[in-house]
A and B are shown apart, each in its own frame.
Chain A
Amino acid sequence: MLRGFNTAGAGMMANQRYQDSLSNNMSNALTPGFKQDRSTFRAFPEMLIQNVESRNIPTENGLQLPFRNNVGTINSGTYLQEDVPLFTQGDIRETDLSTDMAIQNGDLPDENGFLFFEVQNEEGDVRYTRNGNFTVDGEGFLTTNQGHYVLDEDGNPIETGTENFEVQQNGQVTSPFDNALLGIAYHENANDFVKEGDNLFANEGDVAVEDARAVDGVGFQIQQNHLEESNVSPEQVMADMTRAHRMFDMNQQVVKTFDKSMELAANQVGRLQ
């Protein structure tokens, strides 16, 4: 069997996955607070190729000795190993809506540290988001644009009763009902956060999320009437998509080439006269 068949097939599958991830990035080019996924490919684990033969020893009895010779290592393809969200600050844009908020990162002590708003999902668990496109629900609580409660420092929903409220740069909400500090979470390694849809992230790491105000050296500003834009750059995604498309086609050509070799082997070399 020609090994290259599966190698090229794996290349096609990996590029298909890559394309899925790129198209999702492109779809979310206008989603506030979206963090683009960057895909990494990984070669299949190396295999050692051994040449197995037997050699004649020039003696009277014609002795044969088994002979093994290491040819070298080979990788038999690639797969898409990870989609890593790129945690960088997005541009901040003014919207004129008092319920829109953006986190502007200040100094962070850890290289992969990042800040999030704290919100509550349908099951009552705490989730994290960068999308500050909030609104006020019928009962007067501050919610995300999908209806999840935005939490304060102590993990309680915030009742403002109106969309006319003030948020200071430290996250202090001043409204006719509740006056509370917005819950801002800090995690030292945001790569532990996984995406769950509706712009929510869940912490799957071993390290607990901390209150951003309690960690030394963490700086941030909350900007009311502003939104953080998606950090997807459409031109780059477009270029990557074209490249992934061509890589897919090239792998397809390789499969075809192997198929031709197989055809020769089957129909020409192995033909019975």
Chain B
Amino acid sequence: MRNMYNAASTMAELQQRINLTSNNLSNQNTHGYKARQSEFSSLLHQQVDNVLDYDQGSPRLTPDGIRVGSGARMGNINMNMETGSIQESGRALDVAIQDDNRFFVINGPAENGELEERYTRAGNFYLSEQENGDMMLTTNEGFPAIGEDGAVVLDGDFDDVSINQNGEVEVTRGGETAVEDTLELVDIPNSRILEPVDANSFAINADELGQPIEDVLADVAPEDANLYTKALETSNVDMGREMTQMLEAQRAYQFNARSLTIGDQMLSSISNMR
């Protein structure tokens, strides 16, 4: 009853695909979110020698035996790194990246509880007051954004703060505006090494990379940053495509469920033979 196992394992994979689509749909309004796509791949084919001894040499098109497949599974998940559209927000601490494969460097919680380096396209930054009255620039989850030397920490008594198109943090104190820190930006040409940790931040697993992490990152000089100030990058989820994929996967799920039912009915007719 291979057909039932085929259908059951494929249904589990289709469920994964529907999960992926629904994740894309629910992050349609997440700034800097990149749509994820995955395609199927056929599973192992088993060689069955079904030619009868007394029928050797009968005319046939293919090599001897039959190859019976065992369903399908999802392949690698690829992120579509195309830049989303830029949406003006008017907020001084919002900046959008306009170049493909460019990321802000931020911190995020690692599995061991410490902070590790992460990369994000979401340029909505916030100020968080520290115990000593200093202000730290953070992401919307409260983790530090990385500047020239670690976290961007400003003396608390300023009148105004904004981020310019070079990623420089401009602070106004008593009418004087000065650049006090610069956000770190990196280019990652091979974005397929990025592992998503949440909706819009990514980590690089240095152990599994196969080459030094410095070789895959390229620092971006402030004058080349080309940021769009007071704006945010929207997600690049294509609603139409996602809905189509959802329907497609749903129908495929139903078809496989049908094939499982047929397998069950065939089993039942075997058990009714007596």
Interface residues of A (CB under 8 A from B): 12, 16-17, 19-24, 26-32, 34, 37, 42, 44-45, 79-85, 95-97, 99, 131, 133, 135-140, 144-147, 161-164, 176, 191-192, 194-199, 204-205, 227, 234, 237-238, 241-242, 245, 248-249, 252, 255-256, 259
Contacts and interface: CB of A to CB of B under 8 A. Distances in A.
Contact of B58 (A22, A81, A136, A248): A81
Contacts of A237: 255
A37 B265 CA distance: 23
A131 to B, nearest CB: 7
Contacts of B78: 97, 99, 135
Given A27-B6, A192-B62, A145 B192 contact: no
Given A26-B255, A31-B41, A133 B75 contact: yes
A95 B238 CA distance: 11
A163 B105 CA distance: 21
Given A29-B252, A162-B190, A255-B273, A248 B266 contact: yes
A234 B69 contact: no
Interface in B177-207: 189-193
B23 interface: no
A31 B72 contact: yes
Interface string B198-227: 000000000011110000000000000000
Interface in B220-274: 238, 248-249, 251-252, 255-256, 258-259, 262-263, 265-266, 269-270, 272-274
A28 B69 contact: yes
A133 B58 contact: no
Interface in B39-66: 39-45, 47, 50-52, 54-55, 58, 60-63, 66
B157 interface: no
B161 interface: no
B2 interface: yes
A27 B63 contact: no
A139 B249 CA distance: 32
B266 A136 contact: no
Contacts of A197: 42-45, 69-70
B37 A238 contact: no
B63 A204 contact: yes
Contacts of B50: 17, 79-81
Contacts of A24: 3, 6, 42, 68-71
Interface in B96-113: 100-101
A201 B81 CA distance: 31
What 3 A-B pairs have minimum CB-CB distances, sorted nearest first? A145-B75, A23-B3, A24-B69
B155 interface: no
Contacts of B274: 259
B132 interface: no
A111 to B, nearest CB: 12
A21 B46 CA distance: 11
B241 to A, nearest CB: 8
A82 to B, nearest CB: 5
A205 B64 CA distance: 11
Nearest to B17: A30
Given A30-B249, A97-B78, A249-B269, A192 B63 contact: yes
A85 B67 CA distance: 10
Contacts of B58: 42, 45, 81
Nearest to B187: A162
Q: Which of the listed residues A22, A97, A196, A252 has the most CB atoms from chain B within 10 Å of its own CB? A: A97
Given A20-B2, A162-B101, A192-B63, A245 B265 contact: yes
A256 B3 CA distance: 24
A242 B47 CA distance: 25
Given A135-B192, A245-B265, A248-B266, A238 B255 contact: yes
B7 interface: yes
Contact of B101 (A164, A238, A249): A164
Nearest to A34: B42
B62 A194 contact: yes
Given A27-B10, A97-B78, A199 B190 contact: no
B134 interface: no
B159 interface: no
A179 B40 CA distance: 28
B81 to A, nearest CB: 7
12 contacts: A23-B259, A23-B263, A32-B40, A81-B50, A145-B38, A145-B39, A145-B76, A146-B41, A146-B76, A163-B190, A163-B191, A164-B189
